[in-house]
A = this chain, B = another copy of it.
Amino acid sequence: MRLIELPSRYLVFLGDVTDPSCAKTAFGLRDWTPERCVGEYALPGGTVSAGLPPLSPAQARRHGAEALVIAIANYGGVLSPDWIPTLLESLEAGLDLVSGMHMRLTDQCELRCAAERLGRRLIDIRNPPRDLPVGNGRKRTGKRLLTVGTDCALGKKYTALVLTREFKARALDADFRATGQTGILIAGTGMPMDAVVSDFVAGAAELLTPDAPENHWDVVEGQGSIFHPAYAGVSLGLLHGTQPDAIVVCHQLGRERLVDLPDFPTPTLEETIELTVRLARRTNPRARCVGISLNTSGIDQIAAQHALAEHAARLGLPVADPMRGGAELAELVAACLEP
């Protein structure tokens, strides 16, 4: 496979972040792959911590870190000039650099020269592999689950991670398949779907979820929404390419408008299920929606229980909030695994 392969142990870099929402990637790494996270490093002025041991690049190297990971989101995906000394220090200390920012490590002259001199790697995870294939639509062996959404940013990655964990807890052979930057950092591999040239999106999704043993599950992180005026193309290519047997539709309770495009109403769950399954059957006639992941983060536990029950009754499907777990989640997992 020609997927990105990341070093296995990280020093998590927090820059001088003061807003916790800019450090979500760091929290995701801590929560989902603590075994990869040797420590964290913040610049003076930074006030956010992921609760990992604070280590300098040299200390982290001695504790087994192989790379410094830029675990920050900022507007425009920019590499700040203020980070360069730390990044150079990390290269000198023997760490590779990993970034999911739009601005590329390899476009920074100083970093490129230092990495070359020291034999270190600069890994821009937004760079898809070269020579991606065009999709061929051939049915592959093994089972696949795809999380899809009524919009962006409402829990598709989180749902896929929770389902992978639950599958593994039931002794099933399952892999989380990452399609976005944070997911790739967590999994250590994946496909940066939003950076793939459009003709190759379905082919890239096929490459991400190759032939596998009959009882193996690929649990694929969805992207965008087939109803999203900007990103529907990516979502449809991913849907066709992954050939999901099981589809979990993700929705945020109360989100009535698309988050970036308030002129566009969020589609209903009913129409999302119907259209997604219809489109998916072009490449997998057995595709079906197995249940709903409902993000109820805006309300309390009792109201959430009611909402889950009400949706389940209306749709005739299991409806769970993976953040809350519980019997609903167990039901959703069981529905995924029904033959």
The chain A residues found within 8 Å of chain B, CB to CB, are: 134-138, 193-199, 201-203, 226-227, 229-238, 240-241, 261, 263-264, 275, 278-279, 282-283
Contacts and interface: CB of A to CB of B under 8 A. Distances in A.
Contacts of A235: 233
Q: Give the 6 A-B CB pairs with smallest separation, nearest first.
A: A233-B237, A137-B229, A135-B230, A233-B233, A194-B199, A198-B234
B194 A230 contact: no
Contact of A236 (B197, B232, B264): B232
Contacts of A199: 194-195, 230-231, 234
Nearest to A193: B198
A194 B275 CA distance: 25
Contacts of A203: 230
30 contacts: A135-B229, A135-B230, A136-B229, A136-B261, A138-B263, A193-B198, A194-B198, A195-B198, A195-B199, A197-B197, A198-B198, A198-B201, A198-B233, A198-B234, A198-B237, A199-B230, A199-B234, A201-B234, A202-B231, A203-B230, A227-B282, A230-B240, A232-B236, A232-B237, A232-B282, A233-B238, A233-B240, A234-B237, A236-B236, A275-B278
A89 to B, nearest CB: 32
A232 B227 contact: no
A264 B235 CA distance: 21
A18 to B, nearest CB: 27
Contact of A196 (B138, B198, B283): B198
Contacts of A231: 135, 199, 202
Contacts of A134: 230
A255 B264 CA distance: 37
Contact of A229 (B229, B240, B263, B264): B240
Contacts of A238: 233
A238 B229 CA distance: 10
A178 to B, nearest CB: 16
A232 B283 CA distance: 11
Given A194-B197, A197-B196, A227-B282, A202 B233 contact: yes
A315 to B, nearest CB: 21
Contact of A232 (B138, B195, B196, B202): B202
Interface centre among A197, A233, A261, A263 (most CB of B within 10 A): A233
Contacts of A226: 236
A133 to B, nearest CB: 9
Interface centre among A193, A229, A236, A261 (most CB of B within 10 A): A229
A220 to B, nearest CB: 15
